Chain A
Amino acid sequence: MSASTPATPRSTAAAQRGLSIALLGMLALHVWPIAGDPAWVLWGWVPWDLAYALLWMLGAAALVLFMTGPAWPDEPTPEPQPPLSPEGGEPS
């Protein structure tokens, strides 16, 4: 994927902050899930605890899309570096 408008350091930092907050929210919803009626079933076969996990994964998928977009700017592929001198100083 390539962004149509180049990301600026400020917009990337803001997106990464947003990602961190959303991640914390998702973790909280994972550790302390919303309790539902055990007798309730979705589409006649998905019980509440399973439906909740599937819905949570839908949110996770959306968050991953955001993570791989604004929060993850495109960078050029790094070039191989020359080996260092034996003393660990400047490249030989």
Chain B
Amino acid sequence: MSTGATLLVVCVVYLAVVLAIGAVAYRRTGSGTEEYFLGGRTARTVVLFMALLGTNVTPFVIMGIPGKAYHHGVGMFGLNAAIVALGIPWTFYVIGYPAWKAARRLRAISPAELFAERLGSPAVGVVLFVAFVVYTLPYLVTSVLGVGLAVSTLTADAVSLPVAAALILVVTIGYTALGGMKATMWTNVFQGAVFMGLVLVAFFAVADDMGGLAAATETVRRLAPELLEKGERPVFAPGAWASWGLAISLTVIAFPHMLVRIFAARDATAIKNTCRVYPVALVLLWLPVVMIGVWGAAEIPGLQGQQSDRIFPLMIQLHFGPVMEGLALAGVLAAVMSTIDAQFLTLGSMLGRDVLRRLSPDLSEVREVWWGRLFVLLLAVVTYGVVLWKPASIFDIAAFSFSGYVTLVPTMVAALHWRRTTATGAIASVVVGNAVLLWAMSHPGLEGGLHPVAWGLGAAIVALVVGSWGSRPPPRAVIERALGPG
């Protein structure tokens, strides 16, 4: 069988399994919004963990991180993986769990709805909806772009980037629109197993093909020794290191598609168990992708800038035959689809809950779901347009997106822990935080050695406190309905 035919068979089998799971979920999904968007809030540990991991892992990890490790070496592991192993579980504890409790009390479906109800202000929901859309769109772009690059690399451009991107969008929208949250969470279990399996197999198999782990490291020491230490690179300087650690740790809980997954948890035990497993999963995932990027720099030198985003599929191509290439492709597809399904579903739910229902309180649940589906279609079209434009590398697009999400964290923390928080403070925090972030991003060199996100976060905190103290808090009944007596 030719390489192209093998790739096609592996991918068709993978997509067929995903669609079959989606179809089964569709038959078991009721018609209400809570059932469609949150799967009836019944996710136990395994499904919740795999859904969160699957949603969290995108081509940023499988394509972007090897691409950066190709240029910057093993320091990329400490810069990203180490801090999130602590940061993500901690944010689940500080924000995720209180948000899950409040969402249960309020029967909130979307994050924006939760904070609008907590602060007694529909305007908060609209502002958060806009912010979530603005920062989720580039994140969607990184996912679809990653697939396009992987497919075009592995098929030697027989399947072009535009065709691959269109295909992935159509299939994902298909099963998401039909089966809702239940479909996306069930498929995420399968998809998470596929990409975790791929990364681990690729790691050991590439190392074995290079003569073993020690021989692979020795090859790097001989050809690109600077990649085996952090060195004096600006990206690893203490200020940039600390502020990027802050960004990547805080951003994950601010992804609306992650927070809404937590809302779907059946109980606190599922959330706690997920926290416990997360650090182990991150080691198993990030160590291989960083090392494959570093080994790739020794074996396939000369890739410039964004070209290194292709190093993972290039290494697969260099070391293996068509079956492994097909599996690699399935792994990347799995990582992408398990994220963009959640992103589409969450943004679709927010349009209905936080915008349309405010404008038309009599909107039926069935119509709300259909409007959500139409909005998802529109988002897919815009995403496709930006993918074809490809304004920056996967890592850089994701960095923009992550930074924006971080400016929303002060509002989340304060609304859940500080009863004096007001809608004015929350809106001021989002607006001022993002204005300062964009200013810092557009004035490189003026950030004082810090990543721009540090300035945006600081401004968001100040605006939140000043805005809250300068305005009246919501009535006590509104606060206690969300947070309980206090």
Q: Do A and B bind each other?
A: yes
Number of A-B residue pairs at CB separation under 8 A: 128
Known: A63-B86, A74-B268. A1 touches B273 (CB 8 A): yes
Q: Assess whether A64 is in contact with B276, with CB atoms less than 8 Å apart.
A: yes
Cβ-based interface call for B85 (8 A): yes
Q: Assess whether A44 is in contact with B214, with CB atoms less than 8 Å apart.
A: yes
Name the contact of B85 in the complex, choosing from A1, A41, A61, A65 (C-beta under 8 A): A61
Q: Assess whether B89 is in contact with A64, with CB atoms less than 8 Å apart.
A: yes
Name the contact of A79 in the complex, choosing from B105, B217, B272, B474 (C-beta under 8 A): B105
Q: Which residues of A contact B104 (CB under 8 A)?
A: 77-80
Cβ-based interface call for B439 (8 A): no
Which applies to chain B's interface (DSSP): helix, strand, loop or mixed?
A: helix
Q: Assess whether A23 is in contact with B86, with CB atoms less than 8 Å apart.
A: yes
Stretch among B238-246, B299-307, B372-380 lining the A interface? B238-246
Interface residues of A in 29-68 (CB under 8 A from B): 30-33, 38, 41, 43-50, 52-54, 56-57, 60-61, 63-65, 67-68
Q: Assess whether A49 is in contact with B74, with CB atoms less than 8 Å apart.
A: yes
Smallest CB gap from B226: residue in A = A38
Q: Which residues of A contact B276 (CB under 8 A)?
A: 64-65, 68
Name the contact of B89 in the complex, choosing from A50, A67, A78, A88 (C-beta under 8 A): A67
Compute how far the CA of A3 lies from the CA of B283 in the bound complex, rounded to whole angstroms. 28
Q: Assess whether B105 is in contact with A80, with CB atoms less than 8 Å apart.
A: yes
Compute how far the CA of A51 lies from the CA of B478 in the bound complex, rounded to whole angstroms. 50
Compute how far the CA of A63 lies from the CA of B86 in the bound complex, rounded to whole angstroms. 8
Q: Assess whether B268 is in contact with A75, with CB atoms less than 8 Å apart.
A: yes
Name the distance in Å between B346's Cβ and chain A's nearest Cβ. Answer: 21
Q: How many residues of A contact B (CB 8 A)?
A: 44
Q: Assess whether A53 is in contact with B101, with CB atoms less than 8 Å apart.
A: no
Compute how far the CA of A73 lies from the CA of B230 in the bound complex, rounded to whole angstroms. 40
Name the contact of B74 in the complex, choosing from A43, A47, A64 (C-beta under 8 A): A47
Q: Which residues of A contact B268 (CB under 8 A)?
A: 74-75, 77
Q: Assess whether A61 is in contact with B280, with CB atoms less than 8 Å apart.
A: yes
Smallest CB gap from A47: residue in B = B228
Q: Assess whether B275 is in contact with A64, with CB atoms less than 8 Å apart.
A: yes
Known: A56-B78, A61-B279, A61-B280. A72 touches B481 (CB 8 A): no
Cβ-based interface call for B157 (8 A): no
Name the distance in Å between A55's Cβ and chain B's nearest Cβ. Answer: 9
Compute how far the CA of A81 lies from the CA of B104 in the bound complex, rounded to whole angstroms. 8
Name the distance in Å between B269's Cβ and chain A's nearest Cβ. Answer: 6
Cβ-based interface call for B148 (8 A): no
Compute how far the CA of A72 lies from the CA of B77 in the bound complex, rounded to whole angstroms. 29
Q: Which residues of B contact A81 (CB under 8 A)?
A: 105-106, 481
Smallest CB gap from B80: residue in A = A53
Could you mark each residue 317-344 of chain B with 1 if its beta carbon is under 8 Å from any beta carbon of chain A, else 0? 0000000000000000000000000000
Compute how far the CA of A64 lies from the CA of B278 in the bound complex, rounded to whole angstroms. 9
Q: Assess whether B86 is in contact with A31, with CB atoms less than 8 Å apart.
A: no
Interface residues of B in 465-486 (CB under 8 A from A): 474-475, 477-478, 481, 484
Cβ-based interface call for B370 (8 A): no
Q: Which residues of A contact B102 (CB under 8 A)?
A: 78
Name the distance in Å between B247's Cβ and chain A's nearest Cβ. Answer: 14
Cβ-based interface call for B90 (8 A): yes
Q: Assess whether B229 is in contact with A48, with CB atoms less than 8 Å apart.
A: yes
Name the distance in Å between B107's Cβ and chain A's nearest Cβ. Answer: 5
Name the distance in Å between A77's Cβ and chain B's nearest Cβ. Answer: 6
Q: Assess whether B78 is in contact with A38, with CB atoms less than 8 Å apart.
A: no
Name the contact of A78 in the complex, choosing from B101, B245, B290 (C-beta under 8 A): B101
Compute how far the CA of A52 lies from the CA of B366 in the bound complex, rounded to whole angstroms. 53
Smallest CB gap from B278: residue in A = A64
- Between B74, B107, B241, B478, the greatest number of chain A beta carbons within 10 A of the residue's beta carbon is seen for B74
Cβ-based interface call for A91 (8 A): yes
Name the distance in Å between B291's Cβ and chain A's nearest Cβ. Answer: 8
Compute how far the CA of A54 lies from the CA of B85 in the bound complex, rounded to whole angstroms. 10
Smallest CB gap from A48: residue in B = B229
Q: 9 new A-B pairs (CB below 8 Å) besides A64-B89, A68-B89, A75-B268?
A: A1-B272, A45-B213, A50-B290, A63-B86, A77-B268, A79-B105, A80-B107, A89-B477, A91-B481
**A residues near B, CB below 8 A?**
1-2, 23, 26, 30-33, 38, 41, 43-50, 52-54, 56-57, 60-61, 63-65, 67-68, 71-72, 74-75, 77-81, 84, 88-91
Subset of 14 A-B contacts with CB under 8 Å: A33-B78, A44-B213, A44-B217, A45-B213, A47-B74, A47-B217, A53-B77, A60-B85, A68-B273, A77-B104, A78-B102, A78-B484, A80-B105, A89-B475
